[in-house]
């Protein structure tokens, strides 16, 4: 049995996010282009001789009981496989919380992977995905990583070709957005065609490996709810474009904004400006990263 695993749980942005309809069971049917970014939470899993799941985290306001998605993920597998040992999970958060970057889902996906490996349960990635969707709609994607089309409620996944390399600037304003609030306030019948992103066009642009075509087609229907509520999101988008981003978009239900840069120098300067310059009042957290296309999960130690 493995006694310790050191893993990275990567965040995502949506290059495209469309909502097709609300299903009778309350879930929304989506069509999303998912893209992993290089920003990650660090997760260490330690084997304990005594039973039980213990969670330790660097963020005092996160739950450490069943309400934490890492706890849920561990419990799901450990109960199913009647595991008598216990584990301690050290969760070091760097991905902004309640930000539209699927941080919690990625943590859960990583713990599913880790518990499967630690106790040699022999589940395939697909089998982990089937269990993951019970924890959250984005968990299956977080087990797949890279560039992908996500449909249904998020469980129907099609891998897409890797995105060309570029710089990605991520900025989260000092507001937190509840995903539930955004979906509840999405008024699909009142929206025009221009509010919906061209997902098929985006798939084609990704196939062409053309970062400019991709940037042109960035679109997120949830901006129609979140931006009127928090105009600072539009201000950050405008600022990024003014500072040289080819384009910028809100990720998921927000409020995080990401900007795509093809010039490392411009990206660096935009980072400095949003982090330390006059624009620093717009965003509370700012990161300069890139698209992360490695699908394999590896144990670092």
- Cβ at position 26, least distance to ligand ATP in Å: 16
Residue 39 or 211 with smaller CB distance to ligand ATP? 39
List interacting residues with ligand ATP (CB under 6 A).
62-63, 67-70, 91, 97-105, 107, 138, 179, 252-253
Is 106 one of the annotated binding-site residues?
yes
- Cβ at position 269, least distance to ligand ATP in Å: 27
In Å, what is the CA distance from 177 to each residue of 81, 116, 244, 250? Answer: 36, 32, 27, 12
State the catalytic residue, choosing from 18, 41, 107, 138.
138
Residue 70 or 163 with smaller CB distance to ligand ATP? 70
Report helix, strand and coil shares of the chain as percent, to nearest 5. 35, 30, 35
Q: Edge-to-edge, what's the strand order for the sheet holding 167-172?
A: 247-250, 257-261, 167-172, 285-290
Residue 246 or 291 with smaller CB distance to ligand ATP? 291
Q: 3-state class of 42 per DSSP?
A: strand
Residue 137 or 270 with smaller CB distance to ligand ATP? 137
Is 98 one of the annotated binding-site residues?
yes
Is 101 one of the annotated binding-site residues?
yes
**Count of H helices and E strands in the chain?**
10, 11
- Cβ at position 95, least distance to ligand ATP in Å: 7
User: What letter would DSSP give residue 230?
Assistant: -
Q: Is 138 a residue of the active site?
A: yes
Q: Is 22 a residue of the active site?
A: no
Is 96 one of the annotated binding-site residues?
yes
State the catalytic residue, choosing from 12, 72, 93, 237.
12
Is 263 one of the annotated binding-site residues?
no
- Cβ at position 69, least distance to ligand ATP in Å: 4
Nearest to 254 by CA among 274, 233, 275: 233
Is 104 one of the annotated binding-site residues?
yes
Scan for tokens 């300067």, then name that residue.
269
- Cβ at position 55, least distance to ligand ATP in Å: 9
Residue nearest to ligand ATP (CB): 104
Is 97 one of the annotated binding-site residues?
yes
In Å, what is the CA distance from 78 to each residue of 5, 58, 65, 126, 265? Answer: 16, 24, 15, 18, 48
Scan for tokens 């890492």, then name that residue.
70
Scan for tokens 């928090």, then name that residue.
230
CA dist., res. 14 & res. 34, Å (int) = 5
Residue 70 or 203 with smaller CB distance to ligand ATP? 70
Are 45 and 4 in contact, with CB atoms under 8 Å apart?
A: yes
124's tokens: 């395939």
Binding-site members for ATP are 96-106
Q: Could you list the active site residues? A: 12, 138
């Amino acid at each position: 049995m493995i006694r310790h695993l050191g893993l990275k749980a990567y965040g995502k942005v949506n290059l495209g996010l469309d909502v097709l309809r609300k299903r009778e069971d309350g879930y929304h049917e989506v069509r999303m282009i998912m893209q992993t970014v290089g920003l990650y939470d660090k997760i260490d899993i330690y084997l304990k001789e005594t039973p039980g799941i213990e969670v330790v985290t660097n963020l005092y306001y996160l739950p450490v009981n069943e309400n934490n998605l890492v706890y849920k993920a561990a419990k799901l597998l450990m109960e199913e496989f009647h595991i008598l040992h216990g584990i301690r999970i050290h969760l070091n958060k760097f991905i902004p919380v309640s930000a539209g970057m699927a941080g919690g889902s990625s943590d859960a996906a990583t713990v599913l992977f880790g518990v499967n490996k630690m106790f040699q349960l022999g589940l395939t990635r697909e089998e982990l995905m089937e269990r993951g969707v019970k924890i959250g709609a984005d968990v299956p994607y977080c087990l797949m990583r890279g560039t992908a089309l996500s449909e249904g409620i998020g469980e129907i996944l099609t891998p897409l070709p890797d995105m060309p390399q570029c710089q990605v600037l991520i900025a989260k304003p000092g507001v937190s957005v509840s995903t539930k609030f955004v979906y509840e306030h999405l008024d699909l019948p009142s929206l025009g065609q221009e509010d919906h992103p061209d997902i098929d066009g985006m798939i084609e642009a990704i196939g062409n490996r053309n970062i400019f075509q991709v940037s042109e087609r960035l679109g997120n229907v949830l901006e129609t709810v979140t931006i009127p509520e928090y105009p600072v999101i539009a201000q950050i988008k405008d600022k990024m474009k003014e500072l040289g981003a080819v384009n910028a978009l809100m990720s998921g239900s927000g409020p995080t904004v990401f900007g795509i840069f093809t010039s490392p120098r411009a990206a660096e300067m935009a980072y400095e400006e949003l982090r330390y310059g006059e624009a620093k009042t717009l965003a509370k957290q700012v990161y300069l990263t890139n698209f992360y296309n490695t699908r394999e999960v590896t144990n670092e130690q």
